[in-house]
Amino acid sequence: MSDPFALFDEWFAEAKASEPNDPEAMALATADLLREPSVRMVLLKEHGPEGFVFYTNEESEKGRQLKENPNAALLFHWKSLRRQVRIEGSVERVSDEEADAYFASRARDSQLGAWASDQSRPLDSRATFEQRFEEMKRRYDGQEVPRPPYWGGYRVIPQRIEFWTDRPHRLHERRLFVRGAEGWSEGLLYP
């Protein structure tokens, strides 16, 4: 199979059937202008040949880093399948229309939480956050919750996708797809 997206679809479907928790969870690695790295878990919300999409507060640490350095790496680790997928590429913001549509599909409390949280900034106490959440509940009582202007999505446009399969005695299989001018090329890597 020389289409990395078809292979990802196959593996992702298997992960959804076998992973006990969050098969869409992926580690997102970013770096700032000083090349200081940072990694955290986010959730895949959409994927296809255009890229891999997640949503967040754009004023968070990851949002700031992606603004400074629009490149990222993703890692899916599906322990139940003994597989990993590594993705590296450039990052672009999704359109406001895409972000609006996804935000509207979220649970109401998640929407309210996006307004209540100053994500990644210092918090003096949990009570402060809970109070802000209650204020948002009152503010939007009886009406739709709009997407905050600082909340949106990012698409990682892959240049490299590696599919890793665990094998006995650390004789793992590593299939690497690299995007070139003519499309995707496939090769193997030593474990």
The fold of 4-105+150-189 is Pnp Oxidase; Chain A (2.30.110)
pLDDT at residue 51, as a whole number = 98
Q: Looking at residue 144, what is its pLDDT?
A: 97
Q: What pLDDT sits at residue 2?
A: 79
Question: Quick one: pLDDT at residue 1?
Answer: 58
Query: How does residue 86 score in pLDDT terms, banded at 50, 70 and 90?
Result: very high
Specify the pLDDT at position 91.
98
pLDDT tens string 35-53: 999 999 999 999 999 999 9
What are the residue boundaries of the structural domains of the chain, listed by start? 4-105+150-189
Per-residue pLDDT averaged across 97-125, rounded? Answer: 95
> 83, 170, 174, 179: which is the annotated catalytic residue?
170
Query: To the nearest whole number, what is the mean pLDDT of the chain?
Result: 95
pTM: 0.93
Supply 80's token pair: 């139940």
Which pairs count as long-range contacts for 175-183, CB under 8 Å and 24+ apart, including other chains? 175/7, 177/2, 177/4
Over residues 122-178, the pLDDT tens digits come to 999 999 999 999 999 999 999 999 999 999 999 999 999 999 999 989 889 999 999
170 catalytic? Reply is yes
